[in-house]
A = this chain, B = another copy of it.
Amino acid sequence: MRTLTVDSLNPAIKNVQYAVRGELAIKAEKYRVDLKDANHGLPFDKVISSNIGNPQQKGLDQPPITFTRQVAALTEWPALADLAPGVFPKDVVARAKELSEEIGSIGAYSHSQGVPLIRKSVAKFIEERDGYPSDPNQIFLTAGASAGVTLFINMLITPPNSGILIPIPQYPLYTATLAQYNGIGLPYYLDESSGWSTSVASIEAALEKAQKEGVAAKALVIINPGNPTGAVLDETTQEELVKLCEKHSLVLLADEVYQANLHQPEKYTFTSFKKVVSRLQSPVPLVSFHSISKGVSGECGRRGGYFECTNFSEEIIALIYKMVSIGLCPPVSGQIGVDCMVRPPKAGDESYELWKKETDTTHAALKSRTRTMAARLNALPGVFCVDSPGALYLFPQITLSAKVQEVARAAGKEPDAFYSLALLDETGICVVPGSGFGQKEGEWHYRLTCLCPGVDEYVGKLEKFHKGFVEKYGL
């Protein structure tokens, strides 16, 4: 028989790139294994995975919310409420009972769209957040935001000539999924000099280019708060963006998974696109994605999230239902995580004080760490870092000398990948090169998370490495 080779596979698969878990992350995993050997000979004693927003990762300091885990434990084994009397707070017991009665066994498939009661909780959360109605029938629970985004890219793209507008820099889920489905990424550039702001002009330019190239733009992706930028949109810009979608008949895909990660709430607040579309009474088809993986929830491993459709016909909702039903249902433990996120303990509930303390601590830690890290990175030679008001990341720009560029190219690497690889090899810190997110020609960045506990040690290592690198290669 002929051997199965990469060339015999769907060529779209070969084109997919996903830097967040790419070469560097794989090497970091290898180092982690190597470190178990006492004679590892590596110049560091731990690997810090700063490549991915994974708050509960080993060695990081965002603990799970106790309320969520207690509810989860009780729905796993409901007999516990009687077997361990007094161990669970009353509101936890009540919530678990309510969920168990609705769901039955959490080992059963749920409704493909998600447990109806939990979708009602999500709708109520959205209504309270925005002040506009939300319909549980337009809400789909998912295995995290990625699953929802993938579905819409698959649904919207008709190969070979359709594309989706994506911000640059962007979270590479978008380019990876576009490649997978033979869609064309239509990049529009965010403006680093004004805090990574989004402008209608840059999107119009991208649309014009697409039209010239015969590519039909199907949708506009907005990540707010931004990933990797951390930028938070103001309402005026959001209104302009909605109007732009109206003008060009674009579906608006609003990735709002970082809506609870706001580090300068006195200056930058989050407004959902659902609110803006509702207020403008716009007919723009909007999909807004949320997740339990980020925010103060940080429950990545559960795989939970939702998307809400606005201005979608019943016929298309039925089509979405059909598509999600092939995957049977989102993980029930993720759905329970969604319920806990959108319906946290209220003042007066037995769990409230602990919940408040835990979430306040996480917010404060992220805020202070982000600010400290940005300040110290900015103090380094050849580094410029926007002081990110949202999300979990910083995306510093680094000046890389002609010499670095030459050495990197000779090694077959992008210069920022070369920098990041050297950082990993020397310090055990794994970041993602800017080339994985997209950036302007001739600029170099990397993304790192603001999740590491010992900020002094962490940034100290970054500083020491950077200074040594500059010394070696010049500025």
Q: Chain A residues in contact with chain B, CB under 8 A?
A: 1-6, 8-11, 13-14, 16, 18, 20-22, 29, 52, 54-58, 63-64, 66, 69-70, 72-74, 76-77, 80, 83-84, 87, 103-112, 143-144, 146-147, 150, 154-159, 173, 176-177, 180-181, 218, 245-249, 251, 283-285, 293, 298-303, 311-313, 315-316, 319, 322-323, 325-334
Measured between beta carbons, the chain B residues less than 8 angstroms from A330 are: 303
> Complex formed: what's the CA distance from A327 to B147 in Å?
7
Q: Of B106, B111, B326, B329, which one neighbours A16 at CB under 8 angstroms? A: B326
Q: Are B143 and A331 in contact (CB under 8 A)?
A: yes
Q: Are A72 and B76 in contact (CB under 8 A)?
A: yes
Measured between beta carbons, the chain B residues less than 8 angstroms from A107 are: 55-56, 64, 69, 298-302
Given the known inter-chain contacts A52-B109, A80-B87, A108-B300, please indicate yes or no for A6 contacting B69, CB distance below 8 A: no
Q: Of B10, B80, B157, B323, which one neighbours A157 at CB under 8 angstroms? A: B10
Q: Are B9 and A155 in contact (CB under 8 A)?
A: yes
A160 to chain B, nearest CB (A): 10
Q: Are B108 and A5 in contact (CB under 8 A)?
A: no
> Complex formed: what's the CA distance from A218 to B2 in Å?
11
CB-based closest 5 A-B pairs: A84-B84, A301-B332, A58-B104, A21-B325, A56-B105
Q: Are A1 and B249 in contact (CB under 8 A)?
A: yes
A105 to chain B, nearest CB (A): 4
Q: Are B56 and A6 in contact (CB under 8 A)?
A: no
Q: Are B108 and A58 in contact (CB under 8 A)?
A: yes
A65 to chain B, nearest CB (A): 9
Measured between beta carbons, the chain B residues less than 8 angstroms from A22 are: 322
Q: Which of A66, A293, A301 has the most CB of B within 10 A?
A: A301
Q: Are A301 and B18 in contact (CB under 8 A)?
A: no
A339 to chain B, nearest CB (A): 14
Q: Of B112, B154, B157, which one neighbours A21 at CB under 8 angstroms? A: B112
Q: Are A158 and B9 in contact (CB under 8 A)?
A: yes
> Complex formed: what's the CA distance from A283 to B3 in Å?
8
- A-B contacts, 9 of them at CB < 8 A, read A4-B313, A5-B315, A5-B316, A9-B158, A10-B157, A69-B76, A107-B298, A146-B326, A301-B333
Q: Are B84 and A319 in contact (CB under 8 A)?
A: no
> Complex formed: what's the CA distance from A381 to B205 in Å?
70
Measured between beta carbons, the chain B residues less than 8 angstroms from A159 are: 159
> Complex formed: what's the CA distance from A322 to B14 in Å?
10
Measured between beta carbons, the chain B residues less than 8 angstroms from A180 are: 154, 323, 326
A39 to chain B, nearest CB (A): 22
Q: Are A4 and B312 in contact (CB under 8 A)?
A: yes
Given the known inter-chain contacts A154-B10, A322-B18, A326-B18, please indicate yes or no for A105 contacting B331, CB distance below 8 A: no
> Complex formed: what's the CA distance from A293 to B108 in Å?
8
> Complex formed: what's the CA distance from A22 to B72 in Å?
31
Closest to A11 in B: B158
Measured between beta carbons, the chain B residues less than 8 angstroms from A69 are: 76-77, 107
Measured between beta carbons, the chain B residues less than 8 angstroms from A143 are: 143, 303, 327, 331
A303 to chain B, nearest CB (A): 4
Q: Of B83, B103, B299, B315, which one neighbours A6 at CB under 8 angstroms? A: B315
> Complex formed: what's the CA distance from A63 to B20 in Å?
40
Q: Of B1, B8, B14, B73, which one neighbours A77 at CB under 8 angstroms? A: B73
Q: Are B327 and A105 in contact (CB under 8 A)?
A: no
Q: Are A301 and B329 in contact (CB under 8 A)?
A: yes
> Complex formed: what's the CA distance from A249 to B3 in Å?
7
Given the known inter-chain contacts A14-B319, A16-B323, A83-B84, please indicate yes or no for A56 contacting B108, CB distance below 8 A: yes
Given the known inter-chain contacts A64-B105, A251-B4, A283-B3, please indicate yes or no for A331 contacting B328, CB distance below 8 A: no
A147 to chain B, nearest CB (A): 7
Given the known inter-chain contacts A21-B325, A84-B83, please indicate yes or no for A313 contacting B158, CB distance below 8 A: no
Q: Of B176, B284, B301, which one neighbours A110 at CB under 8 angstroms? A: B301
Q: Are B313 and A3 in contact (CB under 8 A)?
A: yes
A247 to chain B, nearest CB (A): 7
Closest to A53 in B: B109
Given the known inter-chain contacts A21-B112, A69-B76, A302-B333, please indicate yes or no for A104 contacting B319, CB distance below 8 A: no
> Complex formed: what's the CA distance from A319 to B12 in Å?
11
> Complex formed: what's the CA distance from A48 to B411 in Å?
64
